[in-house]
Amino acid sequence: MNRRLGILVSGRGTNLQSIIDASRTGQLDATVAVVISNRADAAGLARAGKAGIDAVHLNPREYADRDAYDRALVDALQAHDVGLVCLAGYMRLVGRPLLDAFSQRILNIHPSLLPSFRGLDAQRQALEHGVRITGATVHLVTADLDAGPIVIQAAVPVIEGDTVEKLAERILVEEHRMYPDAIEVVLSGKWRVDGRRFVRV
């Protein structure tokens, strides 16, 4: 698989940073080719700029609808010869044009043990539910939100007296460790999707 990554961000970009760092130390054999954000003020764009990586802001307001926006995303990703798209705190739903252009080549990281606690505020959902163990998941992106085949998971215990912030911080440590690993697994190409399972071969 083409080892050029396109990373989509909407916010602070700490997962983006862990991917950039892993690609620079050689822990991850890949190149971050472009970082794209729907928000001009995303700190992730500044991180990309600082690392000398092309940083692109695509403003959704400038497109007629989600499909038009996603087509622009595809154009930008293809212009950078991207082989794998990684969502890293990207807060928009991924539409058909992007899913079709990068079929089984889009990853997302989510701060819970899926299929528990999909959607927004996963750490708060876990805390409020009272689970003793939560964690993080890297999965392939499909049309169903946070429901694609699971590549890697890591467990994080909930500790007595946890706040959403403390729990999120401990989950984030695992996220930063596991996302580069999951990308490496997917880039190796030694896997297939069997039903809803990601199977390593």
Q: What is the SS3 assignment for 169?
A: helix
When the beta carbons of 47 and 105 are compared against ligand GRF, the nearer one is 47
Minimum separation from the CB atom of position 145 to ligand GRF (A)? 11
Per-residue DSSP letters for 63-108?
SSSHHHHHHHHHHHHHHTT-SEEEESS--S---HHHHHHTTT-EEE
Q: What is the SS3 assignment for 164?
A: helix
Nearest to 53 by CA among 37, 31, 72: 31
Minimum separation from the CB atom of position 176 to ligand GRF (A)? 8
Q: What residue number has its CB nearest to ligand GRF? A: 89
Distance CA 33, CA 118 (A): 29
Name residue, tokens 């822990």: 27
Cβ atoms 140, 191 nearer than 8 A: no
Q: List residues near ligand GRF by CB under 6 A.
A: 9, 11-16, 88-89, 109-111, 172, 175
Minimum separation from the CB atom of position 12 to ligand GRF (A)? 4
Residues paired with residue 35 on neighbouring β-strands, in sequence order: 7, 55
When the beta carbons of 16 and 151 are compared against ligand GRF, the nearer one is 16
> Which sequence positions are flagged as catalytic?
110
Minimum separation from the CB atom of position 155 to ligand GRF (A)? 15
When the beta carbons of 79 and 93 are compared against ligand GRF, the nearer one is 93
When the beta carbons of 74 and 88 are compared against ligand GRF, the nearer one is 88
